């Protein structure tokens, strides 16, 4: 028999990336115990077969702990790189000219191959080319079908196969590379819950991913290019979730523009009812240090105050020297912020106006009633998860217990703010609904004798999208029998 895991005391979720430092079953278990709610598998590193035992380990731990656990597979996307140099490395001098061309010949201090024909067709004079995560900057002077002539604006050392960013134009690149397609098929076969698409430029980019996923996983769009920011609302409307990918976003845009953009992306995602993850360099110093800087702590806290659904660790938990400590620190910061008496007011700076539907009206009402009657929790019965997403968007002051007959739904909800998902049998009547809500609330230690909880569901039962019931129930003392510690 599996254990019953008590819900987290905090509402924001912690997404931990797995890697060389954290891929064993023992380490994954310790990460969960330290506070990780969901796990990211980065398809950019390692081969597919190295990921399979990691995913299987998460599922085994999920079964042992009795709690649906979320797995996100992050696709690499169309990563742009320069070619190789005859000596492996050159020095580009500021003010000098440098050519990028279609020749496969090894490069030197005057030229190098650029193996991406799409750039030659789309580039324009004046556009910037950023090399090696923005450390070097080139400006395009002229170009033809085979050569781009640039001026070195910021020089420095450039070595083989360094990354290239093109922030000033929308490139006619396929949304998914052949590697992404293969990785996507593998991830779906392995049973992941979310697929993250990298370097999304426009809403049309998501269509191919949606078609290939065929409903087998939820689709998350990573916002990391200026072109995506320009069409932000359209992109958010076409995906199931959003990630503020501050790494490449901070390369392609001035660093000072990233904080207000982060707030805007979080606000738009929340307003449109999509879970939003804030990611990259949140506790970067903990890759090598057992404690973070005060600035990093403040950065994590800001994301929590803004009402992000999840905060993510990258190399800190995947390859750093202190993966457990990094997750524990993220957990501690989020918990501390949510205990701040002013947290609730700040989270509601974003206005989430409900759509004119019964389900949205009930979700908004549940939040208000929870405060008025001092309810301990909101219990939501759902098949697709849409009711849970509506309630989570309102950021209620109490936890949200989601009861669903679909395991895949329970797993996907692991990125939603405040949600504790339980995979359980469906109900067939109003009386059964009330009894099950009470039983599950007691079993998971979310309320006690005399407490009230709010129940949301749809009648007729077993009909997706029919949420039309909001009911307040009180737990009586005799209902505690058989629930030790409840």
Catalytic residue among 52, 59, 81, 263: 81
Catalytic residue among 40, 128, 225, 393: 40
d(C-alpha 189, C-alpha 216), whole Å: 9
Catalytic residue among 150, 280, 404, 409: 280
d(C-alpha 88, C-alpha 159), whole Å: 6
Catalytic residue among 222, 225, 246, 395: 222
**246-263 burial, b for 16+ CB within 10 Å, e for fewer?**
bebbbbbbeeeebeebbb
Tell me whether residue 147 is one of the annotated catalytic residues: no
What's the chain look like in SS3?
CCCCCCCCCCCCEEEEEECCCCCCHHHHHHHHHHCCCEEEEECCCCCHHHHHHHHHHHHHHHHHHCCCCEEEEECCCCCCECCCECCCEEEECCCCEEEEECCCCCECCCEEECCCHHHHHHCCCCCEEEECCCCEEEEEEEECCCEEEEEEEECEEEECCCEEECCCCCCCCCCCCHHHHHHHHHHHHHCCCEEEECCCCCCCHHHHHHHHHCCCCEEEEEECCHHHHHCHHHHHHCCCEEEEEHHHHHHHCCHHHHHHHHHHHHHHHHHCCCCEEEECCCCHHHHCCCCCCHHHHHHHHHHHHCCCCEEEECHHHHCCCCHHHHHHHHHHHHHHHHHCCCHHHHHCCCCCCCCCCHHHHHHHHHHHHHHHCCCCEEEEECCCCHHHHHHHHCCCCCCEEEEECCHHHHHHHHHCCCEEEEECCCCCCHHHHHHHHHHHHHHCCCCCCCCEEEEEEECCCCCCCCEEEEEEEECCHHHHCCCCCC
Q: Which residue has the tokens 């789309």?
A: 122
Tell me whether residue 222 is one of the annotated catalytic residues: yes
Tell me whether residue 357 is one of the annotated catalytic residues: no
Tell me whether residue 84 is one of the annotated catalytic residues: no
Catalytic residue numbers, as ranges: 40, 81, 222, 280
């Amino acid at each position: 028999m599996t254990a019953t895991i008590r819900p987290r005391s905090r509402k924001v979720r912690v997404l931990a990336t797995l890697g060389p430092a954290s891929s064993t079953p023992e380490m994954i278990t310790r990460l969960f115990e330290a506070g990780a709610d969901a796990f990211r598998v980065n398809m950019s590193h390692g081969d597919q077969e190295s990921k399979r035992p990691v995913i299987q380990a998460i599922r085994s731990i999920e079964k042992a702990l009795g709690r649906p656990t979320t797995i996100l597979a992050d696709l690499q996307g169309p990563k742009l790189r320069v070619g190789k140099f005859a000596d492996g490395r050159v020095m580009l001098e500021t003010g000098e000219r440098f050519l990028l061309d279609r020749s496969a010949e090894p490069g030197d201090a005057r030229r190098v191959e650029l193996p991406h024909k799409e750039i030659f067709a789309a580039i324009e004079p004046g556009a910037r080319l950023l090399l090696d995560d923005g450390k070097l900057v080139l400006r395009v002077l002229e170009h033809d079908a085979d050569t781009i002539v640039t001026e070195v604006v910021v020089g420095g050392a450039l070595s083989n196969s360094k990354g290239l960013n093109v922030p000033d134009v929308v490139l006619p690149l396929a949304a998914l590379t052949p590697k992404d397609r293969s990785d996507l098929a593998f991830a779906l076969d392995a049973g992941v819950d979310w697929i993250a698409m990298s370097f999304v430029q426009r809403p049309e980019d998501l269509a191919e991913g949606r078609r290939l996923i065929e409903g087998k996983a939820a689709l998350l769009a990573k916002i990391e290019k200026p072109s995506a920011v320009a069409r932000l609302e359209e992109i958010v409307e076409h995906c199931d979730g959003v990630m503020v990918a501050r790494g490449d976003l901070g390369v392609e845009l001035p660093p000072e523009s990233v904080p207000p953009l982060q707030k805007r992306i979080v606000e738009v995602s929340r307003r449109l009812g999509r879970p939003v993850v804030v990611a990259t360099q949140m506790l970067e110093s903990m890759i090598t240090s057992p404690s973070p800087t005060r600035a990093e702590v403040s950065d994590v806290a800001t994301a929590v105050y803004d009402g992000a659904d999840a905060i993510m660790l990258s190399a800190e938990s995947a390859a750093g020297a202190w993966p457990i400590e990094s997750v524990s620190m993220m957990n501690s910061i989020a918990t501390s912020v949510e205990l701040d008496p002013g947290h609730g007011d700040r989270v509601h700076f974003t206005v989430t106006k409900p759509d004119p539907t019964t389900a949205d009206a009930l979700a908004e009402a549940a939040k208000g009633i929870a405060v008025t009657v001092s309810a301990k929790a909101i219990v939501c019965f759902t098949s697709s998860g849409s009711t849970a997403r509506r309630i989570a968007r309102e950021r209620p002051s109490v936890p949200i217990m989601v009861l669903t007959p679909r395991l895949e739904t329970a797993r996907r909800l692991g990125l939603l703010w405040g949600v504790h998902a339980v995979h359980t049998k469906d109900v067939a009547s109003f009386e059964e609904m009330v009894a099950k809500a009470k039983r599950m609330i007691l079993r998971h230690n979310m309320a006690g004798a005399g407490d009230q909880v709010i129940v949301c569901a749809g009648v007729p039962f077993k009909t997706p999208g029919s949420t039309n019931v909001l009911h307040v129930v009180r737990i009586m003392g005799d209902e505690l029998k058989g629930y030790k510690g409840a």
